[in-house]
């Protein structure tokens, strides 16, 4: 008797790494856009959540992003990868007052 158990995950779900071509494209972006996309990719958050991310939701000391989700009306605590931490630390030290809202004001957010 076969007693296999499904994990409940879609067969395509899981970790996917950037291809060499995707890595090259990321490296060719401006610093501003690269920061945005690294944060987007490493956090797994949606475009709108990162594009409108204010500094008040970035806890550099504890290396987390506090992301409020309006649809579900709850807050998620997203741990920062080393890349996101370095990105946020550098952006804060440069004196930027907001996360990415100012750099992507016309992002493709569906309202």
Share the mean pLDDT of the chain: 79
Residue carrying the six token digits 């009306």: 73
C-alpha 75/C-alpha 90 separation (Å) is 25
C-alpha 97/C-alpha 108 separation (Å) is 22
Which residues lie across from 79 on neighbouring strands?
A: 64
In which band, very low, low, confident or very high, does the pLDDT at 70 lie, cut at 50, 70 and 90? confident
Residue % of the chain over a pLDDT of 70: 75
The answer, yes or no, to whether residue 66 has pLDDT greater than 80, is yes
C-alpha 5/C-alpha 84 separation (Å) is 36
């Amino acid at each position: 008797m076969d007693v296999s158990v499904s994990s409940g995950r879609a067969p395509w779900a899981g970790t996917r790494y950037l291809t060499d071509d995707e890595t090259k494209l990321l490296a060719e972006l401006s610093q501003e856009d690269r920061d945005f996309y690294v944060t987007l990719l490493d956090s797994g958050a949606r475009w709108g959540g990162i594009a409108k991310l204010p500094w008040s939701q970035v806890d550099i000391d504890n290396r987390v992003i506090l992301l409020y989700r309006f649809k579900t009306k709850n807050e998620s605590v997203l741990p920062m990868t080393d890349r996101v931490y370095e990105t946020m630390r550098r952006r804060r030290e440069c004196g930027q007052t907001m996360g990415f809202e100012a750099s992507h004001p016309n992002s493709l957010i569906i309202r």
